[in-house]
Each structure stands twice: as C-alpha cells, then as structure tokens.
Structure 1
Amino acid sequence: MNFTGKTAVVTGAGRGLGFSYAQVLATLGTNVVISDIGADKLGAGGDGSIAMEAAQTLRDKGFNVVGHHGDLSSEQGCEQLVATAIHTFDQLDILIHNAGWVGYQAIEEADTTFIGRAVDINIYTPLWLCKHAWKHLKQSAAPRVVLTSSDRAMYQQYARPGLVAYVVNAVSPVAKTRMWGVTGEPENLKPEWVTPGVVFLASQHCQDSGYVLRASNGQFTATRFVENPGVDYPVNLARVKATSAEQVAQLWDQIKEH
C-alpha cells in the first residue's frame, strides 16, 4: 500500500496502539502528526515529552512526523490539533482517534468528574475532531476517519463490574412523532406500536442484557454482537488471520462476513 503524500493525525499515539499505527503509516509514506497528552494510567496529568519523543524516534528513521501535546477534551484543543496538521503539512487525509479513557466505577458511586472525563474524550473529542477536520478532509481524494470502540462495549459476555453502561438494554425505536414533524394521528409507525417492546424490557420477564431492541411498526428484532465459536478471547478470535494491511485488503470480504 502506498500512502505517499498523505497526511494523518493519530491521537493517543505516543505509546502503545497509537504509536504502532503512526509508525506503520509513516513507513508507508504518510506524513504523521502524533498527538498525545501523556496522561498516566488513570488518565490524569500530562507529559509533553511523550508525544515529542515518539515523533523524534520516527524522525530519526527518516520519516515525516511531528509531535503534538495538547488536551483534546475541549473543542479548542481539537481545533488546535487539526491546525497543527494543516500548518505543518498543508493537508489532512486521515484521522485516527485512538486516544481514550476508561475507568471502573460502580454506577451508584458515579460522580461528575468521572463521567465528565469519560464523555469528553470518548464522545466529545471525536465530534470536535471531525468538525474541524471535515473541511480539510473534503479536499482529500481519499479521506478516511477511524474511531475506536471496545469489545467490552459490543459483547455482553466481556462486560466487567464498573462498566455497567456497556450491558444495559436499549431500544432503537421508529415512530412518527414531533421529531418527524408529524402532527395528528399517523397512519403507520405509530408510537404505541413500539411500546410493547419497551414494556417488556422493563419487566421481570426480560432476563437478558446487552441487547438493542429495534422496534418499528409493531415489529421487533433484538440484536447484539455474538461471539464466534471457538474463541479464546482476546488471544484467538477464531477468525481470519492477516499479518499486513495488504492481506486485510485481500481478505476483506471474508473478514466482514456475518
């Protein structure tokens, strides 16, 4: 794969996964902005040397890489990161949001600081990054945005105490209400035709968790990620093996099979 001339921003790239992403992209010809606040294992504090030293390591190998140290939990911080990419490389083609934070706290002990930190970096940050990157990405011939999720969020069996938000049930309703701009009684997609599913989820008869109940027009389907047989999580997903981006591309039809 040839990424020559493209520019990528990678958040949380001073160490771990983010650094690996940045390093491979750089070897493929990408100009890379390594962004990292340098927080500790609890997500607190900041060390500006983390991003700068990571960038220097790759520059020493001859790659076009710059470091960025900043707090991405605010819109201003995200705007400043995008501005760094544009100022340095005059374009932006790829945004990889790898930075994240997760803490373990019982729901009955949840406090504003804990929730705020999780919401800022995991929800607001990708939105602010995309907002300020969008006008530049639209000028790219092949713009790409890659966000990050978690198996613990997708697979109920991997949930852990303190991460209860990952395992509650949810409803995805479709009904003609004021949000549709509908007044009066609709002929179809009636709100009351969604209600039986929600009442069931709220009842003692519902013994499952981690489901999203799709409800529309009196029809229901409950979905959640189901693990493949033979999985030894996380070391063996019992699925398609690939050792390079080229192999992933070649095997993509198999990888995306349900």
Structure 2
Amino acid sequence: MSIRYDGKVAIVTGAGQGLGRCHAIELAKRGAKVVVNDLGGAKDGTGASSDAALAVVAEIEAAGGEAIANGANVAKYADVEAMVKQAVDTWGRVDILVNNAGILRDKSFAKGSLEDFQLVLDVHLMGTINCTKACWDIMREQEYGRIVVTTSSSGLFGNFGQTNYGAAKMGVIGAMNTLVQEGAKYNIRVNALAPTAGTRMTEGLLPEKAFELLTPETVTPAVLYLVSEDAPNRTILCAGAGGFSVAKIVETDSVWLAPEEQTPEGIAAHWDEINRAETARELKGGFEQSIKMLTVAAAGLGIKLD
C-alpha cells in the first residue's frame, strides 16, 4: 500500500532546514501541496531571512511539486493567521499541519534567564498552539485534519541544560492529549513526533559518526505515517537513525489506604505496592484517573457509587 497526499495541503513550520525541510520535500514528493514556513533565524531564534524557505520551494518545484514560501513567526498569532489564509487563498484548504519550528537557548536552570525561558516557550509551545488554532476551524469544517506536534526526549525524560526546552516539549503533549478528544468527531487526528536527528540544533553535541547516522531522512517517514489518512491518534512516535518506537505515559494501579493510613507515613509504608511497575497502564483521559481512585475507595469503604 502506497501512502500519498494527492489533493492535500500541508503546512510545515521551520521547514527551511533540517527536519522541517526534509518533511516538506517528502510530503511534496507524495503529492501534497506544501507551505514551506520558516522565519529564517539562527538556532537561538535571532534574525530572519526568507532565503532558506525559498530554496526549499525551488527544490520542490524543480521536482515537479507545488509549494509556496512563508516567513511567519509562529510565536506571533497574526503572522500565523496570515500564513493559513495564504494557504487557503492559494489552494482552498489545509489538511496537514506539521509543527516543527523551534529554537534553543540551552543553559542550566541556575544560569538561564527567565527571558530565554519565555522565548523558548513562545516558539515551541505557543508556536504549536498558534498554528493549530489557526487551522482548527478549517479542519473541523472540512471534517479532516492531521496534526503533528514535535516533542522531545528532553521533555519526556529530561536533559541537563534544557529546562526551558523540556517544559515546552512536554507542554505540547498535554495539548495533544486534549486536542485528540476535541477533534475526534471531526476526523482530526493529532500525534507527536519525538525525533533524534543530526541537525544544526544538535551539531557539535554528538560524535561525528553518530551525527552521520542521525539524518533527517531517517526521521521523516514517521511524520509521513502520522499525517496519513489511516494515521493513529494520540501517539508519541519516536524516530532516529532508522529506529522507531512508541513512548507512553502510564500510571500504576491505585492502592487505597484506610483513613488512619492516609498519611505520609502510610504512603511510605505502602510505597513498594503503590510503585509497582507491572501494574502500570496507559489512561485514555484524565477522568479515568478519577474513576480509578474512586473505584478502589468505594471498595475499601464498602460503599456503592451511584
């Protein structure tokens, strides 16, 4: 079965270089019309230039595809609205959104400034929200949408010097989990990519041989799958060097403690039981946690919940 995007319109943010460039080119190769968005700044977010986005558009057109360049700053909603309007005015719809744009301001938490922290949140988290918000009603009305948010192992598991980046990258997971619920009846599916790639964002941080293996081309197939018609939903797909895996947020079974044990000492006494990894499972919504807690409480107290 061949996965294609004929008749589909895609927006890829941060598509002038690295992962975004690769995502945009491969979507176009498979029939999508692509908005190549890139502010054209340095990896710390400073500066702006349209050169990179225009070069990607030229590459797509040379291969027979359709694309337009856009220099919107994803942290500014007015810019994003204009970008989405450009896509609709040009092609009439928006089917696919790949939230890829990002910057780095790496420093230990003790040394990092709040200004840098806010800027990273504005680009990664609010940039994702801005782009998704601008496309949301269009996708609802056409009853079709495929959205990818870009998370990171730094958010899922932590990475020294990236408190700002990690917080933003975990924030997009929280957004995804609720957007999935709100978009379900409109055939909008939302998934997350957790990439490991050798790009200008990671250059100098990895050994040369490792850097050579971690090409954007080994990550982009994950995006192509996540924005396909038969894509999964609410999935964190990890990709790098040709390897693919799924990350999940899980919770252990609830252990009810009798009223006299509902103390920090009681939790300490039952910690091994509470923390039993083999009971962990993925919940499908926040309400499931409440139901889980109430079920064991009712059983422990010998009462029925209406």
Per the normalisation by structure 2, the TM-score is 0.54
Pair 1:163-2:165 in alignment: no
Pair 1:95-2:66 in alignment: no
The alignment-based identity, stated in percent, is 24
Give 5+ residue unaligned stretches, structure 1. 171-232
CA–CA distance in structure 2, aligned partners of residues 234 and 150 of structure 1: 17
2:10 corresponds to: 8
For each residue in 1:148-205, what CA deviation from the matched residue of structure 2 results, as whole angstroms up to 9, or x when unmatched?
A: 011122124xx12x224649xx9xxxxxxxxxxxxxxxxxxxxxxxxxxxxxxxxxxx
Runs of 4+ in 1 over 3 A off after TM superposition: 139-142, 164-167, 233-237, 241-250, 252-258
- Asked if structure 2 preserves the Cα contact closer than 8 Å seen for 1:52 and 1:69, the reply is no
Structure 1 position 247, deviation (Å) = 8.6
For each residue in 1:29-56, what CA deviation from the matched residue of structure 2 results, as whole angstroms up to 9, or x when unmatched?
A: 1010000011113221011111112111
Pair 1:62-2:64 in alignment: yes
Give 5+ residue unaligned stretches, structure 2. 171-209, 236-243, 249-306
- DSSP 3-state at the match of 2:117: helix
Structure 1 position 141, deviation (Å) = 4.8
| Number of aligned positions between the proteins | 187
CA–CA distance in structure 1, aligned partners of residues 48 and 219 of structure 2: 35
- Asked if structure 2 preserves the Cα contact closer than 8 Å seen for 1:10 and 1:22, the reply is yes
CA–CA distance in structure 1, aligned partners of residues 221 and 151 of structure 2: 21
- Asked if structure 2 preserves the Cα contact closer than 8 Å seen for 1:37 and 1:70, the reply is yes
State which of 9, 30, 33 in structure 1 corresponds to 2:32.
30
CA–CA distance in structure 2, aligned partners of residues 44 and 54 of structure 1: 21
Pair 1:47-2:46 in alignment: no
CA–CA distance in structure 2, aligned partners of residues 111 and 242 of structure 1: 32
Q: How does 1:1-258 map to 2 (within 5 A)?
A: 1-156=3-158, 159-160=159-160, 162-164=161-163, 166=166, 255-256=245-246
Amino acid corresponding to residue 59 of structure 2 in structure 1: T
Structure 1 position 129, deviation (Å) = 1.2
- Asked if structure 1 preserves the Cα contact closer than 8 Å seen for 2:74 and 2:80, the reply is yes
Structure 1 position 99, deviation (Å) = 0.4
- In proportion to residue count, which structure has more helix? 2
For each residue in 1:106-142, what CA deviation from the matched residue of structure 2 results, as whole angstroms up to 9, or x when unmatched?
A: 3233324312210111111111111111111123453
- DSSP 3-state at the match of 1:109: coil
CA–CA distance in structure 2, aligned partners of residues 243 and 16 of structure 1: 10
